[in-house]
Every structure is written in structure tokens, then in C-alpha cells.
Chain A
């Protein structure tokens, strides 16, 4: 039975307990600070932190496996305000771009449906990095290998839920069997719609072949920092391969013709 998580962003309060719990359980270091001299600033700026938001890390990385995305939409006079939070992580896709692209078999799917990077197999080729439509997996310069959320592989194989779900004080992160979570999600969506949240939607039932970690959003996915129409990149493999074979044939024929015209060239040269 596939395990997964349901992230109900409508009850998230942005406390970042999940980020802390994730860091603690998985023994993840603090995000290394990258300083850069920016125009106009007299001192180097830490470019990988926002510095102007309660959302500090801004993205998932090799050391941040969970990231509470802050949506801070305020008008100049603060008369119109929206403040949303969405706790983001690896989605453990049913058809995972990173896993598909891995040339060494380092990325595997376990019996519980989670996508797991075997650190001792990974060679740091980085092909999984752009293959994730959500920008989850990342290379650690320190280990030379890629890292991402494991769905707490060690915990779930020992009867526990994920650390983030355990730490969540509002029930925004629920861990469990995917079908059961879907039932909870559907009920919650119906309730919110009845309360007038017309834009509410579930993200992850069909996106990119279905996600084992799915979300309830109150607005379009783009608002929550998720792609509207994510596609598993390997879906383009057959067409891309076919077009390349055609291209190869075209160049082959062109080269062939260039070499075959001996007769005519010769007679031209003789005429001169």
C-alpha cells in the first residue's frame, strides 16, 4: 500500500515546526550561506536567503527537505491582505522524473511507494536535478551526491509516520495510506467549497502522473509556488528519440548524396 501525505494548506499557520522536525530527524545541516556582492549594496548579501519575508529559505535544497512557502500578498496601504502558507516537500510522484532519469539505479522506489536516494550509489551526475518538474532534488556540494525528502524512509518502515506530520500542530500535514488520505482530502474540499472557498482545489491527483504527497490549495497552484501543469519529462522521450532518429537519417542521406555526386562533379571539372 502506497504511503503518502496530504497537506491541507487551509489550516497551516506557518509555524515551521515541520521544517525543524525534518532537520532534526534527518540530521540535516543548516543551509550553507552563499554571499555575493550585489550592485548598490556596500557589503556582500546572502543571496540564497530572502531577507525580506517570513519565508527565509525560499526553496527546497539538499539540506532543506521541507520548506514552508509563505504567500505574503499585501497592498501598499494594507487594506487588501492575503497571508497563506504551504508546507512543501518531495511529492513522491507515481511516475518520478528523478527516478526515471537516474543512470545508476541510485534512486529507487521502496515497497511503501516512497522515492528514495541511495547515497552510496549516487555519483552526482545531476541528471535528476532538472528532471524534477517541481525543483525538489538538489546536489549537495559537501557530499557530491543528491538529496531530498525520503518520506522518512526509516520511520515509515518502522511503523511511524513522517517527522513533519508528527510535529504539525494543526493537522495540516497528514501521513497515511494514499486512498485514505484522498478520502479525507475530498471531504475537506467539499466542506471548504460549501463555506464559499470556490477556488479551492486538490493538487496532485492527476498532476505529473499522480503524486503521493498532494495538497489542498485555496487558490491556483501557481500562487502556492507549484507549477500549474507539471509533466513527467520522460513522456517526451519517445517523440524526442523519433525526431532525433529522423534527423540522423536526414543528415546521413545528405552526406551520402554529397559523396555520391562524383560523376557530375568530375564532368564539371573537366569542362573547366
Chain B
């Protein structure tokens, strides 16, 4: 560990935001696939909302990532070695593997999105719909879920595999932390959409809330472990502006307070709908601040 490394200077409004948006998308997709695969007929609802969220969100990813490049017009060099045009992957580079993984995930997000369109009757172009019905939905839900887990987790590995002190010291935990946060914010995004449509009632909602609660508790445990593992190198997120952002924004407003609100909203006689919306917004907000504080601090 050393203080001589240059920071990458990935601006939070490009790369930090990408890490966040992609993990919300992937988190929603993972939960949607789970509901699709293991939930009953009544939980199809979750999948429908999740898959209609996952694609639009992930479409922002290439825009943000390409905007961050020093030479945006050369972004295709990530996929093809520009000297000979042969497809290129560097297995030691999380960014290289990530570019391919993100593309794969985007493909599955598209398939699932089209599936929802077809179910909703919005996809009426006959030859396409016909071809579409032949694809094994459950198979690609499983593979799509795995690519989703990859997309949510690889940014953590990418940061851990640098020499920047805070990112180096938090190894090997950032990947798991981002996946936990992705699952939690993904569930919150689904809950938010369902709450807006006043559909937070009964079994469907209670499953989602449980996923969110469990992920947030796992996230808390990982944050605890991160602080222990990082030791003195956690200093940039222990005090100052990013300390407030991390502890006040992410841990308190984004995890502890929402956990309390979920508990309160579950009590009889409480107007659940608005409270749940507030909770989901807080969780989503905390997830964004988690990425921003960890990226910018140090």
C-alpha cells in the first residue's frame, strides 16, 4: 500500500453514476429472474416491472462510459484490437472483461424486455413475435441473471485491483458490497414503480420488501467488514465530506433508516403506499452515494 499512486480521476457523474445505474438495472433483473424462476404465477408481476426497468436503465451505461473516455470515438477498441480487427479480451483487466460482460447482459436485458412487451401485447410485429416465442425463456433468465450478477459485481473487482490506497485496502470485498447494494437498490426500484401504481399490497410486495431488507442487512455486514479490513486506509470515508456522505448518506439514510421505515410501514393501520415510496427513494439515494463516496474519497 502506498501514497504514490495517481488516482484514476473517473468523474462521479460518468463512471460513478454508471456503476450505480448498471447495478440498479442488474439488481432489478436478478430479482425479476428469481421471481420468474422460483416465484409463483402471482409473482410474474415482479418480473414484468423488473424487466421493463432493466433495459432502459442499462441503455444509459454505454453513453456514460463512452463520454468518460479520453478518445470516445475509439470505444470500439475495447472489443476489437484496432491493429488487426480481431476480437480482443484481456482476462486480467476487469474493464476488458466488464465491457464484454456488460454487452452480454445488455443482450439478455433486451430479450427479457421484448418478452414483457410481447406479454403486454405491445410487440405485434408478427414474424418477430413468432420467433421470440421459440426462445427458452427460463434458460435465458438463468444466464441473464448470472450476467446481471457479473455486471453488479465487477466494478468492485475493478476498483480492488488497482493500487489506489482506499480501493486496494478494501480488497477483496467491494465486489460483494456492490452486489448487495445492487440487489437492494434493484428491489427498491421495483418497489418504487409498484408503489407509484399503488400495487404494494399482499404477497408480491412482502417478497420484494424481504429481498430488500435481507440485502441491506448483508450490505451492512459487508460495510462493517470493509472498515475492519481497510483499517487506517479507510480514513477518507471515516471523516470529512465523504465521511458524511458515506455514513450519513449511505449507511444511515440509505440503509438503517429505510430498515426502520420498512418495519414501521408493516404495522397495521399505517398508510403504507407513500411510506414505502419514501423508503424506496431513500434506498436508491443511498446506493448512489455509496458509489460516489467510494469513488471520490481518498
Separation of A236 and B218 alpha carbons in the complex (Å):
23
CB closest chain-B residue, reference A227? B2
CB closest chain-A residue, reference B148? A248
Task: Check B168 against A125 for contact (C-beta < 8 Å).
Answer: no
Task: Check B172 against A262 for contact (C-beta < 8 Å).
Answer: no
Which of B78-86, B110-118, B271-279 sits within the interface?
A: B78-86
Q: Which residues of B lie under 8 Å from residue A125 when comparing CB positions?
A: 68-70, 78, 95
Separation of A251 and B268 alpha carbons in the complex (Å):
29
Kindly state whether residue A97 has any CB partner on chain B within 8 Å. yes
Task: Check A244 against B74 for contact (C-beta < 8 Å).
Answer: no
Task: Check A129 against B7 for contact (C-beta < 8 Å).
Answer: yes
Task: Check B34 against A103 for contact (C-beta < 8 Å).
Answer: no
CB closest chain-A residue, reference B91? A237
Task: Check A104 against B175 for contact (C-beta < 8 Å).
Answer: no
Kindly state whether residue A77 has any CB partner on chain B within 8 Å. no
Interface residues of A in 88-128 (CB under 8 A from B): 97, 100-106, 118, 120-127
Interface residues of A in 214-229 (CB under 8 A from B): 225-229
Residue among A103, A138, A225, A257 making CB contact with B99, cutoff 8 Å: A103
Query: How does the 8 Å CB contact mask read for B61-99 relative to A, with 1 for contact and 0 for none?
Result: 000000011110011011001110000101011111011
Kindly state whether residue A135 has any CB partner on chain B within 8 Å. yes
Give the A-B pair count, Cβ closer than 8 A.
233
B54 to chain A, nearest CB (A): 15
Q: Is the interface of B mostly helix, strand, loop or mixed?
A: helix
Task: Check A101 against B95 for contact (C-beta < 8 Å).
Answer: yes
A231 to chain B, nearest CB (A): 7
Separation of A125 and B175 alpha carbons in the complex (Å):
20
Count of chain B residues near A, Cβ 8 A: 74
Task: Check B93 against A250 for contact (C-beta < 8 Å).
Answer: no
Task: Check A130 against B8 for contact (C-beta < 8 Å).
Answer: yes
Q: Which residues of B lie under 8 Å from residue A254 when comparing CB positions?
A: 183, 211, 214-215, 218
Q: Which residues of B lie under 8 Å from residue A248 when comparing CB positions?
A: 149-150, 152-153, 175-176, 179
Task: Check B172 against A242 for contact (C-beta < 8 Å).
Answer: yes
CB closest chain-A residue, reference B156? A244
Task: Check B6 against A135 for contact (C-beta < 8 Å).
Answer: yes
Task: Check A129 against B96 for contact (C-beta < 8 Å).
Answer: no
Separation of A121 and B77 alpha carbons in the complex (Å):
7
Task: Check A126 against B8 for contact (C-beta < 8 Å).
Answer: yes
Task: Check A105 against B222 for contact (C-beta < 8 Å).
Answer: no
> With A104-B77, A244-B179, A251-B218 in contact, do A237 and B161 touch (Cβ < 8 Å)?
yes
Residue among B74, B93, B206 making CB contact with A265, cutoff 8 Å: B206
Task: Check A240 against B157 for contact (C-beta < 8 Å).
Answer: yes
Which of A12-20, A28-36, A139-147 sits within the interface?
A: A139-147
Which of B35-43, B191-199, B231-239, B255-263 sits within the interface?
A: B35-43
Task: Check B207 against A259 for contact (C-beta < 8 Å).
Answer: yes
Task: Check A131 against B163 for contact (C-beta < 8 Å).
Answer: yes
Task: Check B179 against A145 for contact (C-beta < 8 Å).
Answer: no
Kindly state whether residue A133 has any CB partner on chain B within 8 Å. yes
Q: Which residues of A lie under 8 Å from residue B152 when comparing CB positions?
A: 248
Separation of A145 and B82 alpha carbons in the complex (Å):
15
A100 to chain B, nearest CB (A): 4
Give the top 4 A-B pairs by smallest Cβ distance, nearest first. A124-B70, A247-B176, A244-B175, A144-B70
Q: A122-B70, A233-B163, A247-B222 are in contact. List 4 more A-B contacts (CB 8 A).
A: A130-B8, A130-B164, A132-B163, A254-B183
Which A residues fall within an 8 A CB radius of B? 97, 100-106, 118, 120-127, 129-141, 143-146, 225-231, 233-234, 236-237, 239-244, 246-248, 250-252, 254-262, 265-266, 269
